[in-house]
Homo-oligomer: A and B are copies of this chain.
Amino acid sequence: MVHMGVRVQTEDFDVGAEITAMRLSSANIGAVVSFVGQVRDLNDGDNVDSMFLEHYPGMTEKALAEIIAQVKVRWSITDALIVHRVGELKPQDQIVLVLVATAHRQEAFEACECIMDHLKTDAPFWKKEQTQHGLRWVEAKTSDEDARHRWKSTT
């Protein structure tokens, strides 16, 4: 898998087209679970006017591909896709899409959530917000570290 199913882009994505393309790729697929993240207008109590997403080109794609590869070892997955946007984003812009297609639903839910939890801690993205108090870098959350570690205890 050479970065298959991973895209890092400034452009928006079409969630319906992505789900449908993946779903129709195999008649063995019974379940497609998707996660769409959108920019909220509020963070840590402050209004967010816009944000800029910086990343580490080269490492980002590799990190995301590794997350998918790990998930494929653990669950029986027909297909998976991560699309992550970078650059300038406004509230209610789509920021990330994760899709997982499987024969049975529980695997799709677990794998999709596991991908998101690892993406939050292992993929080199950094958010800088423009709020009413000026520009600020978003601080990482310990809750994201905790969420990621959930998946270790049960392996």
Using CB atoms and an 8 Å cutoff, list the residues of chain A in contact with chain B: 14-17, 19-20, 23-24, 27-38, 40-42, 91-92, 94, 103, 105-106, 108-109, 112-113, 116, 147
Given B37, B91, B94, B113, which contacts A106 in the complex, CB threshold below 8 Å?
Answer: B113
Q: Closest 8 CB pairs between A and B?
A: A16-B16, A27-B41, A109-B113, A32-B36, A34-B34, A30-B40, A27-B91, A15-B16
Q: Main secondary structure on chain A at its contact with chain B? A: mixed
Give CA–CA (A32, B34) in the complex, Å.
Answer: 8
Contact A28 B15 (CB under 8 A): no
Report the nearest B residue to A24, measured CB to CB.
Answer: B92
Give CA–CA (A109, B32) in the complex, Å.
Answer: 13
Q: A29, A92, A105 — which one has the most chain B CB atoms within 10 A of its CB? A: A105
Cβ–Cβ < 8 Å partners of A108 in chain B:
35
Cβ–Cβ < 8 Å partners of A112 in chain B:
33, 109
Contact A29 B40 (CB under 8 A): yes
Given contacts A31-B37, A40-B103, 7 further A-B contacts (CB under 8 A): A14-B16, A23-B94, A28-B40, A29-B40, A30-B37, A35-B108, A35-B109
